[in-house]
Amino acid sequence: MGALFIIILISSILAIAVFIWFRLARSPFTLPWFSAALLAGATSVFPAILLQNILAESGILQFSGQLGLFAEIIIRIALTEELSRFLILLLLFTVIGRVCEKPIGKMANAAGLVAGLGFAILESSVIGASNFDITPLRAFTAAPLHGACGSRVGFSVVLLREHPVQGIFRFLSAVVIHGAYNFMLNIPGRFTPIFAVFIAVFALASAIQIIKSEMKYEHL
């Protein structure tokens, strides 16, 4: 239980930091929005697990060699997790639009970021509770990775209706980033973990910069 608590705490640090940042920056992304996005992200873990189990049991991704590794990392893991996040965020944005009669607009990146952090917290809890098969590197970098990818997925949701090509590209960029990170963690080598950290941190920094620009625009 102590180890599980530490894993959850590590996964939650970034979410707490982002919440404090939003409050200090007086972001229009208020506590109810933050809570809803965090819960949505955590909820998206379950359809992701369901899709992954279906693909594993069907055997359609059973290839040999590098092709098998590619199918496992890109399709069964990265694609299913980002697709699950996309569907849950689509549902969340639809509900917000109808209940609040206010489009998510430029807060989609922030909502996606928070949803990604919610996903990372619950995913780490599930892995930690099952077999503690989680390395310190993954424990510290899973939240930045999922937050960065979540931000891209959140924006792809609002882009898809009026700019479908850009929306699809934005979604696929999250899948590629996620897959590249997983590749670096699964390929043996002295420097591959460093590349994994770089991918997660750089992607998160890019997402944060976009959100900061949107906050500045909101205050103009």
Distance CA 37, CA 20 (A): 15
In sequence order, the 6+-apart residues with CB closer than 8 A to the CB of 34 are 19, 22, 114
What burial class does residue 135 get, using C-beta atoms within 10 Å of its C-beta: 0-12 exposed, 13-18 middle, 19+ buried?
exposed
Could you tell me how many helices (H) and strands (E) the chain has, helices first? Answer: 9, 0
Q: Say what the pTM is.
A: 0.91
Question: CB atoms < 10 A from the CB of 167, how many?
Answer: 19
Residue from 202, 18, 3 nearest 118 by CA: 18
Decide if 71 contacts 63 (C-beta within 8 A).
yes
Helices 45-58 and 80-99 pack at an angle, to 10 degrees, of 140
For 103, other C-beta atoms within 10 Å of its C-beta total 12
Kindly give the confidence (pLDDT) of every residue in the chain, 220 residues in length, as a single tens digit, with 9 standing for 90 and above: 666 677 778 889 999 999 999 999 888 888 989 999 999 999 999 999 999 999 999 888 887 777 888 889 999 999 999 999 999 999 999 988 777 766 677 789 999 999 999 999 998 877 765 655 556 677 788 999 999 999 999 999 999 988 999 999 999 999 999 999 999 988 877 788 899 999 999 999 999 999 998 887 655 4
* Number of neighbours of residue 137 by Cβ within 10 angstroms: 15
- The rounded distance, in Å, linking the Cα atoms of 64 and 66 is 7
Domain ranges of the chain: 32-218
Residue 188: CA atoms inside 13 Å, Cβ hemisphere, count? 0
**Positive or negative: CA dihedral 63, 80, 179, 192:** negative
